[in-house]
Structure 1
Amino acid sequence: MTGLLARRSFTVRRSTALLGLSLLALTTAWSSATSWYILRKDDLAARLISRETSRQYAYEDRIAALRADVDRLASRALLDQDGVEARVGEIAMRQAELESRQSLVSAVAESLQSAGIGVSQANKNPLRQRMIKPEEPIRASGVTSFAPFASGKPTPAPETLPLRGADDRSAPWQSGEAEEPTPPAKRVAEALIQLDQSIERSSATQLATLREIDQSLGDTQKTLRSALAETGLDTDKLAAATPVPKGVGGPFVPVKLDASAGPFETTLSSLQPRIATVMRLRNLVEQLPLRRPMPGELDMSSNFGYRSDPFTRGLALHTGIDFRAEHGSQIRATAPGKVITAEYSGGYGNMVEIEHAGGVTTRYGHMSAILVSEGQMVTSGTVVGRVGSTGRSTGPHLHYETRIDGDPVDPSRFLRAGNKLAGQL
């Protein structure tokens, strides 16, 4: 009995020991797992913290780099803006110089036209260039870029986003990627280049215009000198004695030109003496009796010089030219001047004598009627009388004379000079 109890007691204790060992093993495993988990969790947290810290540093570095890029781009934009402003200022100065030159070209062309000196059609149309104002935006290809002087920062061009499908049916199908829009800075640069080229073309046009005027003046000068040479007169002496046209004047303000500044100034400087010469010759032509005394074709019945007198049949000096015409035909003044005689005068019959510039006078004789009075100022083409046969005459005709300082000269010389200037008188 006692042995049985002892054996049972040992069996219970063994089971208990096994249970205890099991519990101990579980406890140990649990403790180990718990310890590993705790240690692993701390390491994972440390890794997570380290990773987040690295990311934060990377973000901060990226932000610093972006800020540096933004500052660099802003500095570049400011430099570009300064460059554009300087370029626009330079173009504005060139535009002002271009307009100043154009005023000189227009003044030369208008003065020549007012004096009756022909210039080419290209010279009659002044060049009109649009002034670039600093406050205005620069436009290129219909797109407004930024106005350098309008604000402190460059402003991109406003763009309107199209509606979805709005242009699908109208635009053709294209393969590949769509073209990227041109940056505003590039559009501004292209616009400035176009303006610069336009100013260069306008400047070249002005220089070509001056050279055309110079060529035209040269041709006119040759024509005037050739025509005046027909008269056999000292044109320099007559030009000095020819009065200045009335109704003009004003303070003398000379135009200062530096001939060494460029081809425009050189051409304009060389043009001044030629303009003065042509104007002087033109004024002389206007004052000389180079026009015809009667309209239409002239029928000369007796020329200037020695001839057989129609009444005595002896040798005599004919001091003028006779033009056959119908009775009552109009007789016109051949140059502007002052009537110094308007009366019946012996063999001249009814005669009108007109005093012109430089001591030149003209006489109109045998008139049937006198239509001007002594002291009257007449212009070229003024009707001074009518054809008749008064005085020493054999029939209706005009006796026409030209005299210099009272001495008769051949009127045909003046008429030939007038024929060379046909259309200019």
Structure 2
Amino acid sequence: MRQTLTARFLHRIDVALGRYLPEKRLFLRSEQSTRFVRLSPLTQAAALSGTTALVAWTMVASSILLIDQVGSGNIRDQARREQALYDSRLNAIAAERDRRAEAVRQAQDRFNLALDEVSKMQSALLASEERRRELETGMTVLQATLRRTLAERDAAQDRSIELAAQLAGETGPADGPRPADLEQTLTFLTAALDETSAERDKVAEDAASAYEMVQAIAYERELDAERNDQIFTSLEEALTVSMTPLDKMFKAAGLNTKSILNRVRQGYSGVGGPLTPLSVSSKGSATELSPDEIRARAIMGRLDEINMYRIAAEKLPFAQPLKSSYRLTSPFGRRTHPTLGGSRMHEGTDMASAYGTPIYSTADGVVVRAQWVSGYGRMVEIRHEFGIVTRYGHMSKIRVKAGQRVSRGDRIGDMGNSGRSTGTHLHYEVRVDGKPVNPMTYIKAARNVF
């Protein structure tokens, strides 16, 4: 019964479709016979619907693929533009770093030149002081000679007057000096008096010449003092300008500058030399320092402090491990682990560059490990001063050995992809007393200094 109803329903549909799709026959002829296939309206409608659906599906699929291709092309172009912009910024930062390093080197050269000028001026000042002392000694001798000569002249004049009086009105006893003897004595005394007067005039001229020379030397000393004051002022200003960024660098890295400088000073405190006698002035006390000597000692103290800063900076990881351009792919802090998954602490900084890029030590130190370490791959660990340790992981080649002493800027390996890594990069760590800290803190702190 159900089959009859279904057949009737299909027959009615076939009849209704016959108005629009009349029955057609498809003849198939062979050599022996001819056959035909009857295409009912319902069969034609089903074939037409299937064809229409297939064409519609093909159009929709083609549109979707075209839209995806256009969208992916825009994303790739945008990624290329961002990459180009990022590379240009990195190049600009590297150029700025090089310019600042060149400016620091030029400032250091100017400072060394000024220090040489100070040394020359001090030598000239000491030589002029020695000449002044010699002239003062000569003046003292000349003044004593002049006083003695004047006293002898006055005595000779008094004796000449006395003898002249005796010669003019002599009425004494018969056994007194004869007039001829008195005249001869007077002539001798007159000649001696003239000679003494000439010597006095010559001594006076010498004294005047010496006084003029002393005044010229005093004027030169005043000029030297002014030049020394200008040089000292320039040096003090240069020292202040040089000290400020160094102090800011250590404070930006979270370091106690006094503690670090004291530790450096303790390690570089050797003194000695032969025993020399104590210099004593004419008053019996130790020689007092002049104001210029006090300023020079203060400048030397500041220079010593800058030298201590330089030594400490070489022993701390302020330099960058890569000198070529790189991309910061993963900062310090918590992140999703790239291979193991899950939120984990990233105890360093990842820097990506080309395979084989040179890797350099960021401070002076001793190589503790230079071997394969699980997770790090080929890894180098360097122990520095003040309880600081740096690690360099995922290398392709290690160029140092354990126990080797390295300096800041020495090449210790090449960038690679060893260990637990998803691509070529450097994993750089800084640890203070065993605790990991952000390496970029040190690199950013020294950006305006090195």
Q: Normalised by the shorter chain, which TM-score bucket? A: 0.5 to 0.7
User: Given the alignment of the two structures, is residue 281 of structure 1 paired with residue 309 of structure 2, yes or no?
Assistant: yes
Which residue number corresponds to residue 359 of structure 1? Answer: 387
Q: 1:227 aligns with which of 233, 243, 249?
A: 249
1:195 maps to a residue whose letter is I
Cα gap change, 1:369/1:377 in structure 2, threshold over 3 Å: closer, same or farther? same
Contact 2:265/2:308 (8 A) holds in 1: no
Q: Partners of 1:227 and 1:296 in 2: how far apart?
A: 23
Look up the match of 1:172: none
Alpha-carbon distance in 2 for matches of 1:252, 1:205: 34
Mapped contact 2:365–2:384 kept (Cα < 8 A): yes
Does 2:342 align with 1:320? no
Query: Alignment length, in residue pairs?
Result: 271
Gaps of 5+ in 1: 1-112, 138-147, 154-182
Contact kept, 8 Å, 2:359 with 2:413, in 1: the verdict is yes
For 1:377, the equivalent position in structure 2 comes to: 405
**Residue correspondence of structure 1 range 31-46 to structure 2 within 5 A:** none
SS in 1 for 2:375: helix
Identical counterparts, % of pairs: 29
Structure 1 residues 253, 301: closer, same or farther in 2, change over 3 A?
farther
1:307 alignment partner in structure 2: 335
Q: Partners in 1 of 2:445 and 2:427 — Cα distance?
A: 20
Shift, 1:333, TM fit: 0.5
Q: How far is 1:248 from its partner?
A: 6.1
As a proportion of its length, which structure holds more helix? Answer: 2
Match of 1:387 among 390, 415, 438: 415
Paired position in structure 1 for 2:69: none
Separation of aligned partners in 1, 2:435 and 2:311: 23
Residue 319 of structure 2 is matched in structure 1 by 291
Alignment match of 1:332 (pick from 347, 360, 367): 360
- Structure 2: distance between partners of 1:380 and 1:261: 41
- Superposed, 1:5-44 pairs within 5 Å as none
Q: Tell whether the 8 Å contact from 1:258 to 1:265 is kept in structure 2 after alignment.
A: no
Equivalent position to 2:292, from 264, 273, 277? 264
Is the contact made by 1:259 and 1:269 (CA closer than 8 Å) also made in structure 2?
no
Change (3 A) 1:394 1:350: same
Residues 237 and 252 of structure 1, relative CA distance in 2, 3 Å threshold: farther
1:105-162 superposed Cα distances (whole Å, 9 cap, x missing partner): xxxxxxxx9xx7972743322225365769x99xxxxxxxxxx99xx99xxxxxxxxx
Q: Secondary structure at the match of 2:446?
A: helix
CA–CA distance in 2 between the matches of 1:224 and 1:253? Answer: 37
Structure 2 partner of 1:124: 116
Distance in 2 of aligned mates of 1:120 and 1:273: 15
| Alpha carbons of structure 1 residues 218 and 295: separation in structure 2 relative to 1, 3 Å | same
Find out whether 1:203 has 2:231 as its counterpart.
no
Q: Which runs of 5+ in 2 are unaligned?
A: 1-104, 136-140, 147-204, 280-284
Q: Classify 1:276/1:365 alpha carbon distance in 2 versus 1 (closer, same or farther; 3 Å).
A: same
**Which one-letter code corresponds to 1:122 in the other structure?**
A
Q: Aligned pair in 2 of structure 1 residues 406, 210: CA closer, same or farther (>3 Å)? A: same
Q: CA deviation at 1:363?
A: 0.4
Task: Note the alpha carbon deviations across 1:49-102, whole angstroms, 9 max, x for none.
Answer: xxxxxxxxxxxxxxxxxxxxxxxxxxxxxxxxxxxxxxxxxxxxxxxxxxxxxx
Deviation of residue 409 (structure 1)?
0.4
State the TM-score, normalized to the length of structure 2.
0.52
Give the partner amino acid of 1:392: R
Distance 1:247 1:381, change over 3 A: farther
Q: Which amino acid aligns with 2:243?
A: Q
Measured at CA, do residues 192 and 235 of structure 1 come closer, stay the same or move farther in structure 2, by a change above 3 Å? closer
Is contact 1:259-1:265 (8 Å) kept? no
SS, match of residue 413 in structure 1: helix
CA distance in structure 2 between the partners assigned to 1:365 and 1:251 by the alignment: 48
1:230 is displaced (CA, Å) by 1.6
AA paired with 2:115?
Answer: N
203-212 vs 318-327, which deviates more? 203-212
Distance 1:421 1:205, change over 3 A: same
Query: Which residue of 1 is the match for residue 214 of structure 2?
Result: 192
Q: Which amino acid aligns with 1:343?
A: Q
CA distance in 2, matches of 1:247, 1:239: 12
Structure 2 SS opposite 1:338: strand
Do the aligned partners of 1:211 and 1:267 also contact (CA within 8 Å) in 2? no
Superposed, 1:406-421 pairs within 5 Å as 406-421=434-449
Q: Does 1:343 align with 2:335?
A: no
